[in-house]
Chains A and B, each alone.
Chain A
Amino acid sequence: MDVKRDGIFKEMEGILASPQNHLLEKAVKAGRIPIGYTCSFVPEALLMADALVPVRVRAPGTAGTEIADNYLSNFICSYTRSLLESVVADRYDLIRGWVFVPSCAHMQRLIDNVHYLKKLEFSHVLDVPHKSTAMHVEWLTEEYAVLADKLSSHFGVDLSDEALAKAVGGWNEFVEVMKSIGELRKRPESPITGTEFHLLLMAAQVSPKDMILPYLLEAKEKLEERGGSGRKVRARLMLIGGELDDPEYIRVIESQNAVVVADRTCTGSIPGLTPIELNGGPLIKTLAEHSFKKTLCPRMMEDFDRRLQIILDTVREYRVDGVVIEVIKFCDLWGVDMVPMVKAIRSEGIPVLKLEREYRLSGEGQIRTRVQAFIESMGK
């Protein structure tokens, strides 16, 4: 698949080439405040209020993790180690505040080590429960309220209900546009590859939404005019996994004449691109409810059946031929949870391929071979 055929995707590649980008620089010059975050449970909409800009923290171009290995050890996932290495190397100088979620053991210890090695201007740890019962929704609501108060008093930003409502409106607008692009992938011949989609989605997660929106709208317009890819696609795949912020990984998968039509990753669209439904209740609570709804993470206990059902529904909706699960090495949440998950998906007659990978794209030849074999095993 050729992602270079539209200049817009080239632009997105540029945005994703380093942890910070020119749109963010522009925003900072205009007096806006980038806030870095590491997990989908951080409410992006809240971080869009007033002058705040949410930035999903990535570590592209990390050459090695020698310092992080020393502190975190080699047994911690390479995403976490790459982040620590980048923090130590001052690669996030535009980011003024950090919001962490101790979503897993690796992230918990990342927080500890970042705090030990660096003095951050603003840092907050969101205590996200592992269940979503009524009392846990209340808990998360309080957590978000505390975060809002801290942000407001530290940066002097307006996080009133009006400001939040405006931010939610902005977030919903972005979601609608991205979702409508994602819907194109349901067509028998998807006009957009998984790589292209992921380029747009990731670029939007690391840039101010209002500044990236014109690009997305332009991309949408062009894509709607596009026909199919013009080549024979052997298999339509769904990608499942945790943190995946490098579209190149998807390009390697798609290089075997496959197309990724659906993604259920931490940085993906299903069900990440679920609009926030305003129900007249307190906005902060709505955000908490929304976070539980749009995030499907194995850390969430008693949520296995919902995770499975959404995967099965997506497979049907997007006419998926096979599911590819990508797990970053040493991730226990995904590593363990995928055992019953693979079994359950296979029991529905859906072929599954589980790939273990590093955060940095490596072993491309092996990935290609395995994807090729997987597609052949499906008789495609």
Chain B
Amino acid sequence: MDIQGMITRSRTLAMGIPSKMKAFFQNSVAGFLIESKNIGDSAIYIKYWALTWAAIFKLILKLLFKKGPVVLVRELMHYPWLFVFLRATGLMRRFTRGRKGHYLESTCLIVYYIALTVVQIMENIFYRPERVIIGEDLVTPEIPFAMGLHTWQLEDFGILLPFIYPEFAQKYIDASENEGINPDACSFVKNAAGMILKGHMPKGVAIISSNMPCDAGATIYSFVQREYNVPIYRLDVPYNFYNDRAEDLFTKDLKEMVKWLEQHTPGRMDWNRLREVCKARNRMMELELELWEMLRIKPAPLAAEAMYLSHMWFFYVVPGDKLSVSLFEKLVDLARKNLKSEAHAVEPERYRAVLWNPPFPHYPYIINDMERAYGITLIMDSMTYNRHKFIDTSTPDSMLKGLAHIMMQGPMVRHTRGPAENYLDDIFRIYKQFDLDMVWIANHVGCKSGQAMNGILREKCREMKIPLLILDYDLIDPRIVSHEGMVRQVDYFMENVMRAKRLEGRIQEG
């Protein structure tokens, strides 16, 4: 670089300092205190801010003292994305903008609990690697948990980390495209492949995956298996799964997986332990159903992250864990308190929405922004609407059958296979059940199955007079549709379809 270039670069950097400082300040505790002007809210925020930092420091210090500085540095180099977690409280700040009271607390609580589970997962990676297996995110981890194994879900951090740092996935997506993966494949899958290619993923002693949720998501495991050269077991969910024949087949498949895991890992099935995990999962569901019932009330006592992020992380990553149960107990308690005091999550709640497809990991606070801009309240999302029976914990067979049911009929699985009704009926059921005003489709460009349903959905919504927003974006790559582009789509929809006026001026992203 010549001198002129260096000067230009320095000038550009210098010019960016004021806006960066402003954003830093806005996203800091001080920023919250100035904005909130409420002692109670400030106390809540500071409490969870401190607890989240404490969890992060605990992870680092424990590793330092247990394994020494060399190992600490080695692990940080192996998993450089751990540095992203240092921004976790920034995410808490963005999520909580404009929120108050118990709704504020529910949001802080979730960020803190996620930090706790991340610590738990990383400790398994650091201290018990011989018991770590790679798992696909839709193969729920209750069985490995009961076998004394720890599942590293290949895709999870690809979803979580862009929440904190929107550009997180870009270098991994580029790496996988450079390797030859088709650029039009889902970025979620490309990110996982990229992390493997760069050596930033733990390896595990075995892999369990499936044919879910989509072609790219399933096929990538041939690549993963060859890169890692460890044994793999792949579950197969039939196309039509709402019948006993399919359930029987899949339950047998699960039984085979248990046997296979016993052969290929140090894990041994402990049916009593599985019973405990399943009971805890049932308890989580019981609490979640109570939360849903409260969300049906207008205006809703809690919304957004309390509903979708709690489900997405805790039901998929750590179901049946004590932490997860405790989180849902606290969320239900907060919702009850709000109901009792007639406090609402969003003031004023003008529109109630369902979000279809996974939320917006690289711009999750668009939901918060839209709360303030239009009074839109996110009541439900497709990933959360994981309606299924409680697991019958009476026998090993009944537990496996219950888990089979959950995996086969879980969101994404249910919506990406079987006839179109599986996809459409849930949307219209939610619309009715939660008395909603609009349907938002998170139209991830890499989700071909979803894209190919938009034509039918558009016509059905027109027939039923349901306002429909198909919001184009890429799941974890903000280069495809910018944050401004996403906000613009919502603005056009609200102005032209809903005839709504903004409550606040344009949202400034910080």
Give complex CA distance A133, B209 in Å.
16
Give the docked Cα–Cα distance between A131 and B419 (Å). 21
Given contacts A76-B448, A332-B448, A339-B181, contact A113 B234 (CB under 8 A): no
Contacts of B86 in A (CB 8 A): none
Q: Which residues of B contact A71 (CB under 8 A)?
A: 452, 455-456
Cα of A299 to Cα of B216 in the assembled complex, Å: 10
- Closest-CB distance, B193 to chain A (whole angstroms): 8
Any chain B CB within 8 A of the CB of A278?
Answer: no
When chains A and B are docked, how far (Å) is the Cα of A335 from the Cα of B218? 12
Bound Cα distance from A375 to B452, whole angstroms: 38
Q: How far is the CA of A272 from the CA of B455 in the complex (A)?
A: 35
* Interface residue? B238 (CB, 8 A): yes
Binary interface profile of A, 109-138, with partner B (CB < 8 Å = 1, else 0)?
Answer: 111110110000000010111110101100
Chain B residue at minimal CB-CB distance from A105: B449
Judging by beta carbons under 8 Å apart, are A73 and B218 in contact? no
Q: Which one of B214, B445, B449 has the greatest number of beta carbons of chain A within 10 Å? A: B449
CA gap between A108 and B181 in the complex, in Å:
22
Taking CB as reference atom, which chain B residue is nearest A70?
A: B455
- Known A130-B234, A302-B234, A342-B180; judge A72-B455 contact (CB<8 A): yes
Is the CB–CB distance between A301 and B238 below 8 Å? no
Closest CB in chain B relative to A377 CB, distance in Å: 17
Contacts of B185 in A (CB 8 A): 332, 335-336
Bitwise, B266-284 to A at CB < 8 A (1) or not (0) is 0000000000000000000
Residue on B nearest A75 in the bound complex, by CB? B451
A109–B215 touching, CB < 8 Å: no
* Cβ–Cβ contact A102 & B234, under 8 A: no
Give chain A interface residues in 25-84, CB to chain B under 8 Å: 70-73, 75-76
The CA-CA distance from A136 to B223 in the complex, in Å, is: 23
**Cα distance, A102 to B340, chains bound together (Å):** 50
Bound CA–CA A127/B420 (angstroms): 15
B222: chain A residues at CB < 8 Å are 298, 301, 304, 336-337, 340
1/0 per residue, CB under 8 A from A, across B399-424: the answer is 00000000000000000110110000
Q: Which of B213-267 contact A (CB under 8 A)?
A: 214-216, 218-223, 225-227, 232, 234, 236, 238-240, 245, 249, 252-253, 256
- Tell yes or no: A96 within 8 A of B by CB: no
- Among B193, B234, B252, the one with the most A-chain Cβ atoms within 10 Å of its Cβ is B234
Secondary structure at the B interface, as helix, strand, loop or mixed, is helix
From A72, A76, A125, A342, residue with most partner B Cβ within 10 Å: A72
User: For chains A and B in complex, what number of residue pairs have CB atoms within 8 angstroms?
Assistant: 148
Q: Which of these, A106, A302, A336, A343, contacts B452 with CB under 8 Å?
A: A106
Smallest CB-CB separation from A126: which chain B residue? Answer: B239
A136 to B182, CA, bound (A): 30
Smallest CB gap from A76: residue in B = B452
Measured between beta carbons, the chain A residues less than 8 angstroms from B182 are 327, 329-332, 335-336, 356
Closest residue of chain B to A67 (Cβ to Cβ) is: B455
| Interface: A209 (CB within 8 A) | no
Interface residues of B in 364-414 (CB under 8 A from A): none
| CB proximity of A311 to chain B, nearest CB, Å | 14
Contact between chains at A75 and B215 (CB < 8 Å): no
Of the candidates B215, B221, B223, the one whose C-beta lies within 8 Å of that of A333 is B215
* B453: Cβ under 8 A from any A Cβ: yes
Task: Return A132 CB to nearest CB of chain B, in Å.
Answer: 10
* B-side contacts of A73, CB under 8 Å: 448, 451-452, 454-455
Q: Which of B216, B219, B227 has the most CB of A within 10 A?
A: B219
Q: How far is the CA of A302 from the CA of B452 in the complex (A)?
A: 28
The A interface is mostly helix, strand or loop, or mixed, namely helix
Contact between chains at B239 and A108 (CB < 8 Å)? yes
Residues of A within 8 A of B354 (CB): none
The tally of residues in A whose CB lies under 8 Å from a CB in B reads: 51
Q: Tell me whether B453 and A354 are in contact (CB under 8 A).
A: no
8 Å CB contact of B181 from A125, A301, A335: A335
Cα separation A72 to B239 with both chains bound (whole Å): 19
Task: Tell me how far the C-beta of A98 lies from the nearest C-beta in chain B, rounded to whole angstroms.
Answer: 14
Q: Kindly state whether residue A203 has any CB partner on chain B within 8 Å.
A: no
Chain A residues with Cβ under 8 A from B211's Cβ? 130, 299, 301
Taking the closest CB of chain A, its distance from the CB of B13, in whole angstroms, is: 38
Q: How many residues of B contact A (CB 8 A)?
A: 47
Verify A72–B218 contact, CB threshold 8 A. Answer: no
Closest to A128 in B: B239
Using known A-B contacts A116-B456, A332-B448, A354-B180, determine if residue A127 contacts B236 with beta carbons closer than 8 Å. Answer: no
Interface residues of A in 313-335 (CB under 8 A from B): 327, 329-333, 335
Among B225, B420, B452, the most chain A Cβ lie within 10 Å of the Cβ of B452
Closest to A111 in B: B419
Residues of chain B lying within 8 A (CB to CB) of residue A332 = 182, 184-186, 214-216, 219, 448
**Is B35 at the interface (CB under 8 A from chain A)?**
no
A361 near B: Cβ within 8 Å?
Answer: no
A75 touches B226 (CB 8 A): no
Query: Which chain A residue shows the least CB distance to B424?
Result: A112
Which residues A336-379 have CB closer than 8 A to chain B? Answer: 336-340, 342-344, 354, 356
Contact A336 B455 (CB under 8 A): no
C-alpha gap A128/B417 in the complex (Å):
12
Tell me, yes or no, whether A139 is within 8 Å of chain B by CB: yes
Instruction: Verify A299–B215 contact, CB threshold 8 A.
Output: yes
Q: Which residues of A have CB within 8 Å of B456?
A: 71, 112-113, 116
A319 to B239, CA, bound (A): 40
User: 8 Å CB contacts to B: which residues of A204-230?
Assistant: none
Is the CB–CB distance between A330 and B220 below 8 Å? no
- Given contacts A130-B234, A139-B249, A302-B232, whether A340 and B226 have CB atoms under 8 Å apart is yes
Q: Any chain A CB within 8 A of the CB of B179? A: yes
Let me know if A310 is at the binding interface, CB within 8 A. no
Does B189 make an interface contact (CB < 8 A)?
yes
Given contacts A75-B445, A108-B417, A332-B214, are A340 and B223 in contact (CB under 8 A)? yes
Whether A104 is near chain B, meaning CB under 8 Å from some CB there, is: yes
| Least CB distance, A326 to chain B, in whole angstroms | 13
Query: Do residues A105 and B455 form an inter-chain contact, with CB atoms below 8 A?
Result: no
Residues of A within 8 A of B249 (CB): 135-136, 139
Contact A344 B226 (CB under 8 A): yes
**A1, chain B: closest CB distance, angstroms:** 30
Query: A129 vs B417: C-alpha distance in the bound complex, in angstroms?
Result: 13
Shortest distance in angstroms between B371's beta carbon and chain A's nearest beta carbon? 30
**Given A139-B249, A336-B220, A340-B226, is A76 in contact with B181 using a C-beta cutoff of 8 Å?**
no
Inter-chain CA distance A135–B226, complex, in Å, is: 26
Q: A71-B456, A108-B417 are in contact. Are A339 and B180 (CB under 8 A)?
A: yes
Q: Which residues of chain B come closer than 8 Å to A342, judged between CB atoms?
A: 180
Say whether B420 contacts A336, CB under 8 Å.
Answer: no
A78 vs chain B, min Cβ distance (A): 12
Q: Roughly how many angstroms separate A130 CA and B235 CA in the complex, as a whole number?
A: 9
Q: Which of A105, A125, A130, A135 contacts B416 (CB 8 A)?
A: A105
How long is the Cα–Cα vector from A203 to B111 in the complex, in angstroms? 61
**Cα distance, A131 to B252, chains bound together (Å):** 13
B219–A336 touching, CB < 8 Å: yes
Residues of chain B touching chain A, judged by Cβ–Cβ distance below 8 Å, are: 179-182, 184-186, 189, 193, 209, 211, 214-216, 218-223, 225-227, 232, 234, 236, 238-240, 245, 249, 252-253, 256, 416-417, 419-420, 445, 448-449, 451-456
**Can you name 24 A-B residue pairings with CB atoms under 8 Å?**
A71-B456, A105-B214, A105-B448, A105-B452, A108-B239, A108-B449, A110-B452, A127-B238, A133-B256, A139-B238, A298-B219, A298-B222, A299-B211, A301-B236, A329-B184, A332-B216, A332-B448, A335-B181, A336-B181, A336-B219, A338-B180, A339-B193, A343-B226, A356-B182
Known pairs A135-B252, A336-B181 / 12 extra A-B pairs, C-beta < 8 Å: A73-B455, A75-B184, A104-B215, A108-B239, A109-B448, A125-B240, A131-B236, A133-B256, A329-B182, A337-B223, A339-B223, A340-B223
